Amino acid sequence: MNELKPLANQESKSRFLNDQKNRLKTGQIINNKTMSFKFNGAKLNGFEGDTLASALLANDQVLVGRSFKYHRPRGIFSSGTEEPNALVSLGSDEFQEPNTKATTIKLFDGLTAKSQNHRGPLAFDFMAATDFLHPFLSAGFYYKTFMWPKSFWEKLYEPIIRSAAGLGALSGKPDPSSYDKGFLHCDILIIGAGPSGLAAALEAGRSKLKVILADDDFLLGGRLNSEKFFINNQSSDEWAKNAVAEIMQMSNVRIMQRTSIYGSFDHGIFGGLEIKYDHFKHNHKKPRQVLWKIYSKFSILSSGATERSIAFGNNDRPGIMLAGSIREYINRWSVCPGKNVVVFTNNDDGWRTVSDLKSNNIKVSAVIDVRKETTFHDKEMPVYTGTSIVDTSGRLRISSVTLSTGEKIPCDCLAVSGGWNPNVHLTCHQRGKPVWNDALNAFLPNNIPKTMKVAGATDGLLQLGEALKSGHLKAKEITELLGKKDSKSSAPSADNESVKNTSFWHVSESKKRCWVDLQNDVTTKDIKISFMEGFKSVEHLKRYSTLGMATDQGKTSNILGLAILAELSGKTIPETGTTIFRPPYTPVPIGAFAGRSRGKDFRPTRLTPSHNFAKNLSAVFVETGMWMRAQWYPKENESHWRQSVDREVLQTRSSVGICDVTTLGKIDIQGADSAEFLNKVYVNGFGRLPVGKVRYGLMLREDGIVMDDGTTARLDLNHFVMTTTTANAVGVFRHLEFCRQCLWPDLDVHLISSTEQWAQIAVAGPNSRKLLEKIVDKDHDLSNEALPYMGCKEITVCNKIPSRLFRISFSGELAYEIAVPTRYGNSLFEILMQAGEEFNVTPYGTEALGVMRVEKGHAAGNELTGQTTAQNLGLEKMMSKQKDYIGNVLSKRVELNRDNKIILMGFKPVDKSIELLAGSHFISKGKTACTDNDEGWMSSVAFSPILNHSIGLGFIRNGSNRIGEIVTAVDLLRNKQIDVEIVSPHFVDPEGEKLRA
Amino acid sequence: MLNFTLKPEPPIGFKEKIFKDVKLIEETGLSIVSMSVPKNNFKQLEKRIFENYKIKLPVIGKSKTAKLNNSRFLALQPDQYFIIFDNKTNYPIEELNKSLRKEGYFSDQSDSWCIINISGKNTINVLERICPLNLSSDVFTIGNVNRTSMEHIGVIMVRITIDQFILLSPRSSSSSFYHAIVTSIENIL
């Protein structure tokens, strides 16, 4: 049985090979594992190591899609990220990913792909009728045609155009895949693992530098895998394999295959997208892609060059491909896209395709070289020099070419070589402007970032020997710059192939449409029309004609387009310039940018110490910044939030309630100059605040506007604890650090946040003292005399647990805030509930807290908007005249102190049954509701269960002198006008008797 | 006063988790105290530390360990240090003042932070998914300390060995931080 197995495998393998019409019978790949995949539902086979494109071509699937605008049949054009045509949708349902390039997708067993942008079968697209309308659909057609009537654009024109044109579609469902991010650091980031990249990595690795070698391909080596060159007397692919093997052994080199470096940013930072699991059938719930932020000391850009096309009549038919790509399909994947090939070139490189076709016994029907003279000659086939192709024929696949001589040559594949463009993109992301090189007829890097070096074809060194040398040399230079010793190894050696070329961009005698940008259906005619209509700048041309847009970003078309523009304008290419290359170099999914920051992982969550307690009581939570705070604690019989909140307020005001107020910022301030420091940052004085006392403080910005407020307690002569609002906790701490470090560095003041250290619970209500007395250790006296209003103490609770007790009140009741180390916070909440049973204690949430503070007339976030002053808040008496403080000078500005300035007041509805609306604007009775008559606004509203009607706080001009006046609160958004009476902002206990009890 | 007893709770409560070759421990039983140096008192404070702990204060970005209470001094910024040490009482400052006699300004930070000890041969691979610092062993050497941000959470990290770190993250968001680490582990292992 065992002996039969290989035979069975052999039979199976040859069946696979026979199924793949265009697969050559030689080459490494055919020894690999076989794989099956589906394209448009048809089951096809390929080999491990194939891309989807190579496998499709192997199966003679030349037609792979339809063009963007005209729905013309399109085939695979290239072999890499530059691909403009072969865009497919991968996967299905919610996993469907449109517009992926078949040329970059690694084949895996079970892959499913669909072609895009056609109605009906791919070979018979009903929308292909659009092509007949092409005389009307040139550049700017939409802009000019769909101007009238205006209302039709969104309702009629745009939906029709969108459904008729375009690329693939998203599933419309949430993306179920996960993504991740990461950070990497290195001495050198080498971008591209072609000849120069590998030479650089070998040298840098041997010199013990920390290297990251990134390449978007899954096989390292770049063109070494697709050419028949020799390096150090080894075949180029063998040399690449050995080089990679050596590099892989180096612990100081990190190889990142399938990683596209998509952007170059300041300070040597690069963005990289690593494909992790896209090439597997199952990802085992791992992130499919990782977005890396790479910090490099130096970088070597060795991203190679991209072949460009030539524009001639009907140059977009399936079977027309870049000559270098055909070479790659033959040499790397053992695939020849046709059996009868014509080669059309303007340079020597095209001839190498001729050579490789011939050495694989593939018929070359003709070579057409636009140059009158070439050094290449071949007697075995017709060679046409000084000739060009003016037209092609074949509906779903090229069947012949027509030469400028009128001769027609049958073929099933046309290899086109228009020269090579160095991939300079990453040198331009920081505004580097490439310069034109007449010898190469291409742009070369210029004004590149200081820590970037460019090697190989990217630097215009298209010959292999030169490319290898340059990679090696750049690595050596960086080694020296880093002060390290180089490896003393010499550069790999190879011959330099001939790369002569000429500046031939398009066949002007072609009468048919000549495509420049295949992805966007832009022809030479479109460029001419754009130019004629005044879009003469290359940037305008791009926007008007869409040249160079979308997924390929014009990698094969940009230079061609601007060369034609230059010709039209009578300028040189350098005078015409180029568009600005911006990140990303290759498309990056939005999901990868988001990484794992999705849903609940969008940002961290901060939990209060009593979170578990509140959760067990089914509290309804609200996000306040990152904090999750209990909003109210519903009871079983309560069906509406107001019932819960009203009960919590009434129970607190009648007996006692407890509330987690840990989220307020706490800043520990120590040092001999702490009091002086506080004097400088607060409007009111703190120098004479006695130890054991708390004071309300108001802090201004430099411009005299209120920054924040809160209480500050003096625990010791040189030790204060400041509280801030929850929202401004970080901002105030940052401000104080700035003051300490930059404004008054000589003061002996030290700050540290203690917000997280202490679980702080407000205990409010007439029974709050009695409740606390049950848990405070007996040697601490809580009587009004021992701890009066605005007093504080360091005490112990529940048998020697350290605690801080502040007699302060936000609710207006007799109230305290008790703090214990956070580890005891949840337990303290439970114990207060337990101990408070006899008082019918209630936990209350932020809603009840808000109601009670409105009833008491305390300003909060709605009032401290960054636009209000101490004067507006009615707190001008707090502003010390005895000392200087931040904001002092500018708070005296005339405009801020006018008699008719807005003042914080209370408001109650004339009709008590009406609910007030926050955001309403105040208009005097009888006046029109317009901006000119606007006298202020309602900042906070609440239903007061104590008063049994709605109440509000707000700012109104000259408010303190208008008590009793009726004004209208106008809300134009909700179309409400409510008559309200101006009252004192203190709705309950205006004299403060309760809190001093 | 009735007999009420407060029960302490750890920030997260996972104690120890092993994921193949990455181990996470939630450190408890340690106190963290911030020590600030009073103006013109550095020499006196340093002297007192040397007398009791037999070490010189580390330079910023470094940490040093001492035998007394198994203490580790982290130098975070000019004039500010964190001291992490074994302590079973609720009064870490009093414990410190037994030796340092109020030569510095102290603030208890024990409950401000969650301490996660991460170790194992894949530690760096886990951390590189969330930590922007260069954790190369010749850059962030053993004993180095740095403040950084991971998944929008401020973190203080100390390198203990080549593949062991302690990570201090704010207590209130420690569950999110733990989730971030575990997600990283699951993403790579």
pLDDT at A3 over 70: no
Can you give the pLDDT at residue A580?
A: 87
For chain A positions 268-307, those within 8 Å of chain B (CB to CB) are 285-287, 290, 293, 295
Question: For residue A752, which residues of chain B lie inside 8 Å, CB to CB?
Answer: 34, 36, 80, 107, 109
Residues A317, A66: contact at Cβ < 8 Å?
A: no
Is the domain of A79 the same as that of A9? yes
Cβ-based neighbour number of residue A15 at 10 Å:
12
C-alpha distance from B107 to closest chain A C-alpha (Å): 7
Distance CA A689, CA A636 (A): 47
Per-residue confidence band for A379, with pLDDT thresholds at 50, 70 and 90: confident
A928-987, pLDDT tens digit by residue? 999 999 999 999 999 999 999 999 999 999 999 999 999 999 999 999 999 999 999 999
**∠ CA A720-A723-A728, rounded to 5°:** 135
Burial of B47 from C-beta contacts in 10 A (0-12 / 13-18 / 19+): exposed
E strand or H helix at A152, and its extent?
helix A152-152
Q: Would you say the C-alpha torsion A147, A148, A150, A154 has a positive or negative sign? A: negative
Is the domain of A189 the same as that of A243? yes
Contact A823 B139 (CB under 8 A): no
Instruction: Please name the amino acid found at residue B133.
Output: L
Question: For residue B136, which residues of chain A lie inside 8 Å, CB to CB?
Answer: 185, 210
Distance CA A344, CA A338 (A): 15
Q: Please state, in angstroms and as integers, the Cα–Cα distance from residue A678 to each residue in A267, A730, A756, A806, B154, following that order.
A: 40, 17, 22, 19, 27
Fold assignment, B16-27+112-188: Gyrase A; domain 2 (3.30.1360)
The domain limits of chain B are 16-27+112-188, 30-108
Does B177 lie at the interface with A, CB-CB under 8 angstroms? yes
Q: Among all residues of chain B, which has the CA nearest to that of A779? A: B1
Q: What is the mean pLDDT of residues A684-693?
A: 97
Instruction: Please name the amino acid found at residue A921.
Output: H
Question: For residue B130, which residues of chain A lie inside 8 Å, CB to CB?
Answer: 182
Q: Among all residues of chain B, which has the CA nearest to that of A628? A: B172
Can you give the pLDDT at residue A9?
A: 61
Distance CA A438, CA A934 (A): 68
Does B128 lie at the interface with A, CB-CB under 8 angstroms? yes
Is the domain of A621 the same as that of A687? no
Of the candidate ranges A8-12, A200-204, B106-110, the one whose mean pLDDT is the lowest: A8-12
**DSSP secondary structure, A637-662, as one string:** T--SHHHHHHHHHHHHHHT-EEEE-T
Which of A722, A822, A841 best probes binding to B when mutated, by most B CB atoms within 10 angstroms? Answer: A822
pLDDT at A684 over 60: yes
Per-residue confidence band for A816, with pLDDT thresholds at 50, 70 and 90: very high
pLDDT at A846 over 60: yes
Sheet holding B22-27, edge to edge: B16-19, B22-27, B113-119, B164-170, B153-161, B145-150
Q: What is the mean pLDDT of residues A668-692?
A: 97
DSSP state for residue A705 in the 8-state scheme: B
Is the domain of A47 the same as that of A183? no
Task: Please state whether A887 falls in left (phi above 0), alpha (psi between -120 and 50) or beta.
Answer: left
Residues A58, A20: contact at Cβ < 8 Å?
A: yes
Distance CA B86, CA B31 (A): 6
pLDDT at A781 over 50: yes
Can you give the pLDDT at residue A11?
A: 64
pLDDT at A166 over 60: yes
pLDDT at B145 over 50: yes
Does B137 lie at the interface with A, CB-CB under 8 angstroms? no
Question: For residue B7, which residues of chain A lie inside 8 Å, CB to CB?
Answer: 824, 827
**Does the residue A101 lie in any domain?**
yes
Cβ-based neighbour number of residue A349 at 10 Å:
23
B81-91, pLDDT tens digit by residue? 999 999 999 99
Is the domain of A103 the same as that of A199? no
**A51 DSSP β-pair partners:** A106
The structure tokens listed for A957 are: 């001009």
Distance CA B111, CA A802 (A): 13
Mean pLDDT of chain A: 94
Is the domain of A33 the same as that of A79? yes
Contact A748 B38 (CB under 8 A): yes
Can you give the pLDDT at residue A132?
A: 87
Per-residue confidence band for A465, with pLDDT thresholds at 50, 70 and 90: very high
Is the domain of A14 the same as that of A89? yes
Is the domain of A773 the same as that of A711? no
Q: What is the mean pLDDT of residues B131-151?
A: 97
Is the domain of A921 the same as that of A990? yes
pLDDT at A206 over 90: yes
- Nearest by CB to residue A596, choosing from B132, B175, B183, is B183
The structure tokens listed for A5 are: 């197995």
Cβ-based neighbour number of residue A268 at 10 Å:
20
A59-70, pLDDT tens digit by residue? 999 999 999 989
For chain A, state the CA radius of gyration.
Answer: 38
Does A10 lie at the interface with B, CB-CB under 8 angstroms? no
Contact B113 A756 (CB under 8 A): yes
Domain that holds residue A748: 665-754+872-889
Distance CA A815, CA B180 (A): 39
Peptide bond just before B170 cis, omega within 30 deg = no
Contact B6 A627 (CB under 8 A): no
C-alpha distance from B52 to closest chain A C-alpha (Å): 24
pLDDT at A282 over 80: no
Kindly indicate whether the ipTM for this predicted assembly is greater than 0.90, answering yes or no: yes
Can you give the pLDDT at residue A135?
A: 85
CA A267 to chain centre: 19
Contact A604 B6 (CB under 8 A): no
pTM of the full structure: 0.93
Tokens 């079973």 correspond to B88
Q: Among all residues of chain B, which has the CA nearest to that of A594? A: B151
Does B111 lie at the interface with A, CB-CB under 8 angstroms? yes
Using N-to-C axis directions, what is the helix angle for A236-248 and A195-206, rounded to 10°? 30
**Does the residue A907 lie in any domain?**
yes
- Nearest by CB to residue B173, choosing from A604, A758, A798, is A604
Closest to A426 in 3D by CA, of A291, A557, A224, A272: A272
DSSP, collapsed to helix, strand or coil, labels residue B66 as strand
**Does the residue A138 lie in any domain?**
no
Can you give the pLDDT at residue A154?
A: 85
Q: Among all residues of chain B, which has the CA nearest to that of A607? A: B172
**Does the residue A490 lie in any domain?**
no
Distance CA A520, CA A68 (A): 6
Which of B3, B5, B6, B107 best probes binding to A when mutated, by most A CB atoms within 10 angstroms? Answer: B6
Architecture of domain B30-108: 2-Layer Sandwich (3.30)
Can you give the pLDDT at residue A219?
A: 97
DSSP, collapsed to helix, strand or coil, labels residue A96 as coil
Does B131 lie at the interface with A, CB-CB under 8 angstroms? yes
Does A596 lie at the interface with B, CB-CB under 8 angstroms? yes
Is the domain of A745 the same as that of A811? no
Contact B172 A608 (CB under 8 A): yes
pLDDT at A809 over 70: yes
Which of B37, B88, B97, B105 best probes binding to A when mutated, by most A CB atoms within 10 angstroms? Answer: B105
Tokens 């080894």 correspond to A234
Contact B131 A608 (CB under 8 A): no
Cβ-based neighbour number of residue A622 at 10 Å:
14
Instruction: Please name the amino acid found at residue A777.
Output: D
**Does the residue A152 lie in any domain?**
no
Q: How many domains are there within chain A?
A: 5
Question: For residue B133, which residues of chain A lie inside 8 Å, CB to CB?
Answer: 183
Is the domain of A764 the same as that of A649? yes
DSSP, collapsed to helix, strand or coil, labels residue A978 as strand
Distance CA A664, CA A674 (A): 21
Is the domain of A227 the same as that of A295? yes
Q: What is the mean pLDDT of residues A741-765?
A: 98
Provide the strand spans (E) within chain B.
Answer: 16-19, 22-27, 30-36, 63-66, 71-77, 80-86, 105-108, 113-119, 145-150, 153-161, 164-170
Which of A750, A826, A833 best probes binding to B when mutated, by most B CB atoms within 10 angstroms? Answer: A750
pLDDT at A364 over 60: yes
- Which segments of A753-836 does DSSP mark as H helices, in order? 768-773, 825-835
Does A780 lie at the interface with B, CB-CB under 8 angstroms? no
Question: For residue B134, which residues of chain A lie inside 8 Å, CB to CB?
Answer: 185, 295
Burial of A144 from C-beta contacts in 10 A (0-12 / 13-18 / 19+): exposed
pLDDT at A1 over 50: no
Per-residue confidence band for A2, with pLDDT thresholds at 50, 70 and 90: very low
C-alpha distance from B68 to closest chain A C-alpha (Å): 24
CATH no. for residue A883?
3.30.70.1400
Q: Would you say the C-alpha torsion A808, A811, A817, A822 has a positive or negative sign? A: negative
Residues A316, A518: contact at Cβ < 8 Å?
A: yes
Q: What is the dihedral of CA A161, A164, A168, A172, to 10 degrees?
A: 70
The structure tokens listed for A140 are: 């700017």
Distance CA A459, CA A579 (A): 19
